[in-house]
Amino acid sequence: MNDDDSRARHFPGLSRIGALLADPGRAAMLWSLMDGAARPAGELTMIAGVSPSAASGHLARLTEGGLLALEVSGRHRYYRIATADIAAAIEALANLARASAPQRAPEHRPSAVPLDMRYARTCYDHLAGELAVRIFDGMIARNWLAAAIHGPGTLDATPDGIQAFAELGIDMKAQRARRRRFACTCIDWSERRPHLGGALGAALLHACEEHGWIERTAKRRVLRVTPAGQRHFDDFFTGRQA
């Protein structure tokens, strides 16, 4: 076995994924899709700041590499992140990049997270930011969630949690049937603490939108908490709501 074969055996696919992410233009395209939306090639070209021909090559590599999925509608081509697990990996790498960045003196350290993204935003298809971390902490404190046996970071709903999520309008049986992890921790990019990911995390964000507690904004990934939502979350955090 030659050296290349040995490296491939011990680190299957890592160098290939690393090469796909190494280009700043491709990284910008992927990060722009972390709101779960599908975007046309032209928009991704502008985001990457490259020529149309270069963008076409980047998108082809990301699609062939399994990081992006292509959707064709007439003459238009839309791209989205291929799976929720890939989105979670990108978020984890963003955490790693932030944690491993060279340290600067506080007065010279730029803010890594825009203020309007810090409190409430999407992380692919689930809720992220300070609000999401506080909600997750509240769920753990109320014994709605517990560690599962399926692997590190996986979660399951307790009997109390099953009832509470059902009261929010979440169909637990449907979420378990999805072809993805049911519930898992996702380390928040700005807070560096876990929030709820997986199918249950996506269902929770959808429920919050359906109840009118959270709404989308014109800014990609940024969410707005409505007055009704503020009252609801205040009650949840102070224990006035089970």
Domain formed by 3-82, architecture = Orthogonal Bundle (1.10)
Q: Which phi and psi angles does 35 have, rounded to 5°? A: -90, 0
Report the distance separating Cα 62 and Cα 205, nearest Å: 28
| pTM metric for this prediction | 0.79
Per-residue model confidence (pLDDT) at position 73? 84
pLDDT at 109 (0 to 100): 45
Give the containing element (helix H, strand E) for 224: strand 223-225
Which residues does 232 contact at the CB level (< 8 Å), separation at least 6? 211, 213, 241
How many CA atoms lie less than 13 Å away from 110 in the CB half-sphere?
6
The per-residue pLDDT for 149 is 79
14 contacts: CB under 8 Å, gap ≥ 6:
none
Per-residue pLDDT, 11: 61
Tell me the sheet residues that pair with 147.
155
The predicted structure's pLDDT at residue 16 = 87
What's the token pair of residue 237?
């955090």
Mean pLDDT in runs of 10 for the chain (242 residues)? 56 81 93 90 93 94 94 89 89 80 55 76 93 97 90 90 96 92 90 93 97 93 95 91 60
- pLDDT of 7 reads 55
State residue 195's pLDDT score: 95
| pLDDT value of position 78 | 95
- CA dist 45 and 14 (Å) reads 26
Residues of the chain with CATH 1.10.10.10: 3-82
